[in-house]
Amino acid sequence: MRASFHLFLAVAAILSQRAQAADILVATMTFGSPWMDVAKIAEALASRGHVVTVVAPASEKSDLMRKLPSLRYEFYGHPEKPPMMKNNLKTIPQAFAFSSITWLEFMAMANKMTSGLLENCEGMLSDSQLMTNLKNTHYDVVLTYPGTSCGSIVAQYLDLPLVCTLRSMPTGLDIRATGVPSPVSYIPTVTSGLTDQMTFLQRVKNTLVYFGLTTMGQVVFERSMDAIASRTIGSNFTMFAALARTDVWLYQSDVLFDFPRPTMPNMVSIAGHMADKVKPLSEELEKFMQSSGDAGVVIVTFGSMVATMPAERADMLAAAFARLPQKVVWRYAGTPPPSLGSNTKTMEWLPQSDLLAHPKTKAFVSHCGYNGITEAMHHGVPLIGMPLFGDQHDNIVRVVARGMAVSLDIHSVTSEEVYQAITTVITDPRYKEKAKFISTIRQDQPQSPMERAIWWIEHVIKHGGLPHLRSRAIELPFYQYYLLDVLALIVAVITVILLSCWKCCLFACGMCKRSRTDIKHKTS
């Protein structure tokens, strides 16, 4: 009898959980690091019993279904035609990572990336069969990574609650869509390479970069995206209006990485949500780590997009690593450099987070990709940063400001400078202390970042959206937001009062003058 009762409770619990399961639509770019961030959340949602459907290019079908079998898919486009953006993400970093580029080359690269994003969005929105299927299926919420997709426009088209996860948008569109104040006097703009402590000239630079990026974003990216939406699904759908509907913004950064800034109630930090439980290393790798003794190990990787590098740069790094008393684990897929030392182990792929968590790890030489830096912060490992492109230059500035890293220029650094930087970071206890402090603070929270992300998404689903959390600032026209009408009224009233006083004074002076004239006439 008792066993039957327990079985009944178990079945009831399972059915109850299934009854609360939601249909979640993920509409975002399905490759690159933004996709890795979203996919992690999607898998966690699926593990809780939710039905998660991903909108993806048909050319990605086999790869996605092999890597993420727990998710469902809606495909669009030609199965034999990979998205232009995917090819750009492979070729552009390799082409520009280890060479200095001019402003014109940078603009050409940005234009190529934007073209890839726009092509991907047009392929999605112009697929009438896909849009019809989405319209006829009942979804509870849309999850997207804005800036690299038109998922927000899909949510607007389907009239569904929207959750956006991101770090930031270089064009500042998220700032306008949230209605949050963002004073450039102390908030560094993306790509500015500045901190929250700026000199006068740095504030001038920050202001120019901010207005340059926001203007370019509105003129080029937003207008192009709005034009695509207009000719595919209707003129009522725009990027700004779509993002302004966002119920919750899940930001993948916090005040330990970025700098303190104003936030709105629907802006939630999920920094560190990519952190997995530490898994044991392979027997071979564990043996190598243990063989380092008290000297420890240095982990080296320049990211998944850059597997190899120019032979001269690789040999320069290898020579620096060979001089270290530490062992070195280096993700490097090219031909072993001539100066490679016996203390260095090269691998085509390495378990980065598990290695950073290992007690033998002393330092991390990195290209400063955001996920790598957050893993180093999570595990308390000091950094030697050599940024290559994109947001990596901003990333290293932030961890240097926190005192847990040093920065080197990969284009001009020498083998001696690399050796000295690694030695300094390992031997100077201040770097380890700062890294450990940040790790302790980051892990001292009542909820894990992933649990927080899931709770907010389920909170949106449960209540059918959270419009009460949105700032009314986004609804105000420019002149109202900056109180220009109020200032105009105040100036007008003050002007009328001053003119009235001036007229009264002139009238009083005239009366006095007339009275003195009348007195003179009478006395004469």
The reply to whether 28 and 171 lie within a common domain is yes
As a whole number of angstroms, the distance between CA 502 and CA 500 comes to: 5
Q: In terms of domains, do 304 and 263 share one? A: no
Inter-residue contact 387 to 449 (CB < 8 Å): no
On whether residue 3 sits in a domain, the answer given is no
The confidence band for 306, taking pLDDT boundaries of 50, 70 and 90, is low
365 pLDDT exceeds 90? yes
Do residues 308 and 431 both lie within one domain?
yes
Q: What are 307-321's pLDDT values in tens digits?
A: 678 889 999 999 999
Same domain, 53 and 130: yes
Split into its structural domains, the chain has a count of 3
Same domain, 247 and 311: no
**CA–CA separation, 330 and 1 (whole Å):** 61
**Do residues 427 and 346 both lie within one domain?**
yes
Q: Tens digits of per-residue pLDDT, 505-523?
A: 988 887 887 776 666 666 6
465 and 491 both lie in a single domain? no
Judged by phi (left if over 0) then psi (alpha if -120 to 50, else beta), residue 179 lies in left
What does pTM read for this prediction?
A: 0.86
- Residue 374, pLDDT > 60, answer yes
97 and 240 together in one domain = yes
State whether 304 and 396 are in the same domain.
yes
pLDDT for the residue numbered 468: 93
Contact 344, 322 (CB under 8 A): yes
Reported as half-sphere exposure (CB side, CA atoms, 13 A), residue 191 has a value of 16
Angle between helices 151-158 and 128-136 (to 10 degrees): 50
DSSP per-residue string spanning 112-153: HHHHHHHHHHHHHHT-HHHHHHHHHS--SEEEE-TTS--HHH
- Identify whether 12 is part of a domain: no
The pLDDT tens digits of the residues spanning 487-505 come to: 999 999 999 999 999 989 9
HSE at residue 364, side-chain half, CA atoms within 13 A, is 34
For residue 77, give every residue at least 6 positions away whose Cβ sits within 8 Å of its Cβ, in sequence order, or none: 57, 58, 59, 83, 123, 124, 127
Which bin fits 191, alpha (ψ -120 to 50), beta or left (φ > 0)?
A: left
CA distance 229 to 238: 7
Mean pLDDT over residues 444-468, rounded?
94
Q: How far is CA 487 from CA 37, 396, 474, 482, 484, in A?
A: 45, 42, 20, 9, 5
The CATH number for 287's domain is 3.40.50.2000
- Domain for residue 231, yes or no? no
Its sign, for the CA torsion 457, 461, 462, 465, is positive
**345 assigned to some structural domain:** yes
Pair 75, 119 in one domain: yes
Q: Which domain holds residue 63?
A: 17-180+236-273+449-475
